[in-house]
Amino acid sequence: MLNLLNQHRTVRKYTDKPIDSELLTKLLEATCRTSNTGNMQAYSIVVTTDATLKQQLAPTHFNQPMITQAPVVLTFCADFNRFTKWCEQRQADPGYDNFQSFMASTIDTLLAAQTFCIAAESEGLGICYLGTTTYNAGEIIDILKLPKLVVPITTVTVGYPADLPEQTDRLPQEAVVHFETYKDFTSADIDQLYAEKENSDFYKQFVAENKKETLAQVFTDIRYSRKNNEFFSDKFLEVLKKQGFLSVIN
């Protein structure tokens, strides 16, 4: 089991082999056992296999080819719609149109997503998370017909791996794990933690190809720039308002 987790790699190319619907049901059954907030199960999973729908979703994920190439695309959504409807039918006043409830349902959503991915990998499937979901959540809402109090948080493409990609590097464990309390980093710590990454031929070439001086600049100037982050912050907050999760702030 630890071996499976340690072997994890993102799979972006899939064979033509479809995923048996019985297997998919089993994976989703295991997913539904995941820990969640107060057993409200405040999330939903939209399973998309239809080619036309995948084509419509593709631009919302900046046309990353996995969306149309993978046999199955799962959109994991924070969801207080179902629970709210239940409360309304049971003489109860639901108060889930707020940021705290958005956070609770986001937690439920992401724990379920990761359970699904680990379950899928244990059955020989390969997965890829798409971080573009929060960028274009509004467009995804329209395509997947998500009602109020439902917001897409992450997307997973899944299929049988066409090849076995290299594992990506990770920072040393001490970059991520702190004992007892948080030990903030000195500049010497930072140099040490990022040394292996920065000195690798792979990243040196990556920096050169991107015509930057440092690896960090590839992130700040190209991949995750301030301008884009601020643009997509506003856009996602508008989506939260529109879907009813920030009603108190309005």
Q: How far is the CB of 175 from a copy of itself (least distance, A)?
A: 6
Q: HSE on the CB side for 146, CA within 13 Å?
A: 29
- Rounded to a whole number of angstroms, the minimum distance from the CB of residue 155 to a copy of itself is 11
Q: Nearer to a copy of itself by C-beta: 62 or 224?
A: 224
From the CB of 59, what's the least distance to a copy of itself, in Å? 17
Among 16, 22, 90, 199, binds a copy of itself (CB under 8 A): 90
Is residue 160 a contact residue for a copy of itself (CB under 8 A)? Answer: no
Which tokens belong to 89?
């039918």
Nearer to a copy of itself, 1 or 16 (CB): 1
Interface residue with a copy of itself among 55, 63, 200, 220 (CB under 8 A) is 220
Kindly tell me which of 16 and 91 has the beta carbon lying closer to a copy of itself: 91
- Rounded to 5°, the CA angle 73-21-30 comes to 80
Coil, helix or strand at residue 6: helix
Kindly identify the residues of this chain, within the stretch 127-146, that bind a copy of itself according to CB under 8 A. 127, 129, 131, 134-135, 143-146
Q: Which of 12, 14, 34, 159 binds a copy of itself (CB under 8 A)?
A: 34
Q: Does 236 bind a copy of itself (CB under 8 A)?
A: yes
**Interface with a copy of itself (CB under 8 A), residue from 65, 95, 163, 206:** 95
Run of H or E including 101: helix 99-122
Angle CA(1)–CA(3)–CA(197) in degrees, nearest 5?
135
CB count in 10 Å sphere of residue 75: 26
Judged by DSSP in three states, 22 sits in: helix
Q: Does 222 bind a copy of itself (CB under 8 A)?
A: no
Burial 196-206 (b: 16+ CB within 10 A, else e): eeeeeeebeee
Q: What are phi and psi of 147, to 5 degrees?
A: -80, 180
11 binds a copy of itself (CB under 8 A): no
Residue 29 engages a copy of itself in binding (rule: CB under 8 A): yes
Residue 228 host element (H or E): helix 226-242
